[in-house]
Chain A
Amino acid sequence: MVITRMEIQGFKCWRRSMFDFKPGLNVVRGPNESGKSTLRAALMAVLFGNPTSSSETIQDWTSWGKSERCELKLEYTDHAGRVCRLRKDFAARKIFLLENEETFRTFKTIQTKIAEELGISTEDFYSLCSSLDVRSLSDLGTVASRKQIGKILSSLMTGAVSGQDVLQVLKRLEDALRELGKGQRSPSKVPGPIKATQDRLTQLSAERAETRRTLALRKERLHELAELNRVLEKEVSHLADLDHLIEVNLKLAEADRNKVLMIEQDTRFEQTVELRKRIETELEELNQKLKNEAASGFSMEEISELQDITGKQRRLDERLPTEPSRDTTSKVLLIFGMSVFLIGLGLWPFKTLMGISVVLSSFAPLLVGWQQKKTSNRRKKDFECQLNLWHREKEELEKRLTVRAKVRSPEEVFNSWPQSQKLSARRDALQSRIRELEPVDQEKWKVVRRELRLVEDILNDPKMAGLRLPAPKLAGFQREQKDLATRLSGWQQQAGRLQAILEHEQSGSDKLSGLEEEAAEFTQRLAYLRKREGICRLTFELLDRARKDTLNPARKVLEEQAGKLLHSFSCGRYGKIAVDDEDLSSKILITETGKWENPTVLSQGTFDQFYLGLRLALSEVLSGGKNPPLLLDEPLTALDPARQAATLECLLRFARKRQIIFFTCRPEYDRVADQIIELSGGVIDA
């Protein structure tokens, strides 16, 4: 890091100031109380101060007479040559770092970046080795920080080829191992890959166990269902046997009842048929008798009518028309007249007159004869007409009689009428009886007969008969059948429920397969990670061994470098330093005596040189060669001119590779300075 500019606002005596620095030796010169130490403190504050903190130290930085907290800005060039701008606004409690167009705003990130740049992580360490004043040269800080540095020194190795690279690599490997194993020993919010994989495997194992349980349960259910189905099958068969037995017995009982009914019906049919046959026979006989009777078939009205007709016939016979007497008179007259006429005609040619008289005289007998004849004819016609009417009536009556008397003579009819009537009455009675008789439906009778036969077949079936049970036993079986049916219904419902569960629930076999596949994948991954962890560890161990084999311990480097510096500072009088890395207690080899002595035996000037060299060496070792800027506040005041020149010479060599900000009140350093910043006394408001 090379500081190029520092801007201060409201820091102790500095109200608003800006200082430009250059690489190499920057001499900040001013009289006492001109603000040199304040500037050094401001530089420390901008590098390590936390603007968000409310500590009293920050309050102490407040500008005299002001209550507002300070604002500090630092511009520097990093190792890569990039310009970085750091701003710490203690008033607004804000922090800001612009690095290569990238902005950072969190204290932790920014301090990490500054620590990386300086190579020194804490203010204590920086104060110990890079920010020195003559008063604190021999003060190597607190016991705790000394021990901490001791630990660092004992763990640090440096000085060989790739020395720094290997440290970084080891750090990265260590980080990687830490990251890999994170959460294994103690709980972590974000566990490392191994722990995460283990956790997932544990989770998978639990899920698998659960799925296996589900599967086992399903298997049990399947088994239960199969068992239930087996029982059901057996009991259904038993129930079917019972049903059959009971059905047969019920059928037999019904057949018994039906047989009685059928026999009753059959007997009834038979009796009716016999009765009917008897009546019919009698009727036939009666009919036969009646047929022989002349009045058979005659009703009372017909008999009356017959009697009426015979009466009428008798009366008609009595009324037979008499034939008129023969008309001989007209015949005589006519014959006479004709004879006269013919005589007249015969006479006509001879005796006309006579003829005519004769003819004319013939007309009278002819006319009378003709009249007589006409009357006679009319009488005859009337008689014939009456006779015809009589005959017709007679014929009519005869016809009616014939019809009514049905060929029989009315006498016969009238004679047989009483017997016939008696027979008819009997017949009517029989007919009425036969009508009253229920007609025999032959089809129905056939059905009855057939059913009777069927019933008899059933009853006579040896198979069925063999199953006939006495009533109490049948009742027992019926109870058993009822109980079994109830039980079966329960089992069937249970089987149905099981079936429904089995159909609806996921079998879990695919899920188990998926889980096992995932578990295999994670087991593989865990093995891979463990292997990688092993390889990381192995790489770390081998690299560390290689590093130890090739690199020197930092303590040795520190002793060497501090020794070299002391040798230069003391103009070759002292050159060997021994440092204890437990508490940083140091010893110096007194060349004259050849003994290792505590530096307190040295003069104040040599003592200061001893610790300056030790601190500069520490700075180099602790910063890992990052060469942070050195802030030196009058470190050479106790030296004689020769040692002062030698030390200055040494510092100038230092300044070639690292920036030195040298605070002094003396002007003699101006000549070697790369940049001189002159401070005037009092409160500065630049």
Chain B
Amino acid sequence: MRLPLKILHTADLHLGAKFVGLGSRGADQRRRLREVLGDIVKVAGKERVNLILFSGDTFDSNTPSPESVSAFKHALVRLDEMRIPVIMIAGTHDHLAENAILSRLETETSIVFLKPEQSLWENAELNVLIQGVSLINSHQPERPLAAWRRTDSPFWQIGMAHASLEIEKKAEREACFSPREIKAAGLDYIALGHWHNQRDCSEGGVACWYSGSPEMIAMDESGSGSVLVVYLEYSKPPVITAHRVGKRSLLRITAEACDTEKTLAMVRSQADPEAVLELTLSGLISPEIKPDLEEIKRALKDHFFYIRLRDDSSITLSPEELGKYPGNTVIGRFIRLVQEEMSGSDPGRREELEQALQMGCAMLSGREVIPWS
């Protein structure tokens, strides 16, 4: 008979990460990553968890900025006050190395850092035995779960690893594990890190989850932004609840390119200053109304955290439309010349020609087009 246990499981915080895709908003997102620590501590306090597991990549590198380290230490102080032990393993970014950040933190703070020379942590008061595998570089050990077996300990038995599920192995050299290994481990819970989207990998009655990043790290991570609270009660299946802590969300909108005003109004109605907008313009349009992406970006700038625009629309010229521009006029000749160039050209060249067509038509029809902005 074991006492019930409540765990907060998170991973892949990537404190101090670079966001080259966000440009000048990168610094804001880095600040947000530091703030999310405070939100995690709040969840831990509200849910009265017994311990917190950080399953790797808490830091984006082994040389994080003092701001990142100090934010983490500040969170640790608050967790210490609440008497919540913090168990950590090294991931691919903050892997074991000389002067590894986790080793430094281990000497300076109260964290429990599971590493090859001390891969187990037992706490009789909490009735828990945790085994964790820290990565010594981005891909080693290659099979971190291979050696895990349930021990004779009467305590809750939990595993921590930072690796990929083999079925979706992407990189050639990457720490990974198979569903069979999950089942063979026979633990009460396995706290995984590495994938930024939340995912249930439970197998053979062994609860096994990727918590996902607590805040969005890359654009295609709509499954990030939460931490998991795992409640273990004797002879009952684990209860796993996701708690939202991330602010960023991804808003994907596809709109017709032919009516910019309508598109802007529609997008504005879904404005969210914390969201990243991915707006795709589509449809067939005439050369004179090809939308100006920079102008759209400027118009929506204040309504979203970051905007990514894609123009999938293409210029179409039906014979009727072409008839409006006779061949003996400059514009008519110009359109025909562009069309001749377009036929058989590669997509890149085609895009350039479309834009040239748009620019030429707009300027010939008297519209002021600034060729850059």
Give A contacts to B, CB under 8 Å.
Answer: 160-163, 165-166, 169, 172-173, 176-177, 180, 193, 215, 218-219, 222-223, 226, 506-510, 512-514, 516-521, 524, 528-529, 531-536, 538-539, 542-543, 545-547, 549-551
Contacts and interface: CB of A to CB of B under 8 A. Distances in A.
B356 A507 contact: no
B23 A226 contact: no
Given A176-B371, A226-B98, A226-B99, A218 B63 contact: yes
Interface of B: 16-24, 26-27, 30, 61, 63-68, 98-99, 328-331, 333-334, 337-338, 341, 352-353, 355-356, 359-360, 363-364, 366, 370-372
7 contacts: A517-B24, A520-B23, A533-B372, A538-B352, A543-B330, A546-B334, A550-B330
Given A223-B99, A513-B17, A529-B372, A169 B24 contact: no
A618 B336 CA distance: 33
A291 to B, nearest CB: 78
A175 to B, nearest CB: 10
Contacts of B67: 510
A165 B330 contact: yes
Given A506-B65, A542-B360, A545-B333, 11 more contacts: A176-B371, A177-B371, A180-B372, A510-B16, A513-B27, A516-B20, A521-B23, A531-B352, A535-B371, A543-B360, A550-B329
Contact of B364 (A169, A508, A512, A517): A169
A517 B26 contact: yes
A2 to B, nearest CB: 25
A507 B352 contact: no
B352 A516 contact: no
**Shortest 6 CB-CB contacts between residues of A and residues of B:** A521-B23, A517-B26, A520-B20, A546-B334, A546-B333, A510-B65
Given A173-B371, A509-B61, A517-B18, A550 B333 contact: yes
Nearest to A509: B65
Contacts, number: 133
Nearest to B338: A542
Q: Is the interface of B mostly helix, strand, loop or mixed?
A: helix
A550 B331 CA distance: 10
A172 B363 contact: yes
A174 B116 CA distance: 67
Contacts of A193: 372
A422 B30 CA distance: 110
B292 to A, nearest CB: 11
Identify the interface centre among B16, B66, B334: most chain A CB within 10 Å of its CB.
Answer: B334
B351 to A, nearest CB: 9
B290 to A, nearest CB: 12
A510 B30 contact: yes
B353 A160 contact: no
Contact of A539 (B19, B328, B356): B356
Contacts of B65: 506-510
A160 B355 contact: no
A517 B372 contact: no
A248 B334 CA distance: 101
Nearest to A549: B333
Nearest to A227: B98
A160 B26 contact: no
Nearest to B366: A165
A507 B63 contact: yes
Contacts of B17: 513
A514 B26 contact: yes
Contact of A517 (B27, B61, B337): B27
Given A514-B27, A517-B22, A542 B356 contact: yes
B79 to A, nearest CB: 23
Nearest to A172: B363
Given A518-B23, A535-B352, A536-B359, A160 B371 contact: no
B131 to A, nearest CB: 28
B225 to A, nearest CB: 21
A96 to B, nearest CB: 29
Contacts of A538: 352-353, 356
Nearest to A517: B26
Identify the interface centre among A528, A533, A539, A550: most chain B CB within 10 Å of its CB.
Answer: A539
Given A507-B66, A517-B23, A166 B330 contact: yes
A215 B21 CA distance: 23
Given A507-B63, A550-B333, A516 B372 contact: no
A577 B19 CA distance: 69
A190 to B, nearest CB: 15
Identify the interface centre among B63, B64, B337, B371: most chain A CB within 10 Å of its CB.
Answer: B371
Contacts of A219: 63
Contact of B99 (A177, A222, A533): A222
B372 A532 contact: yes
Nearest to B18: A513
A174 B64 CA distance: 49
Contacts of B363: 169, 172-173, 539
Contact of B24 (A173, A521, A551): A521
B307 to A, nearest CB: 13
Nearest to B59: A509
Contacts of A226: 98-99
Contacts of A528: 372
A137 to B, nearest CB: 35
Contact of A165 (B99, B364, B371): B364
Contacts of B68: 510
A538 B68 CA distance: 48
A516 B18 contact: yes
A322 B47 CA distance: 125
Contacts of A535: 352, 355-356, 359, 371
A549 B352 CA distance: 22
A513 B364 CA distance: 44
B66 A161 contact: no
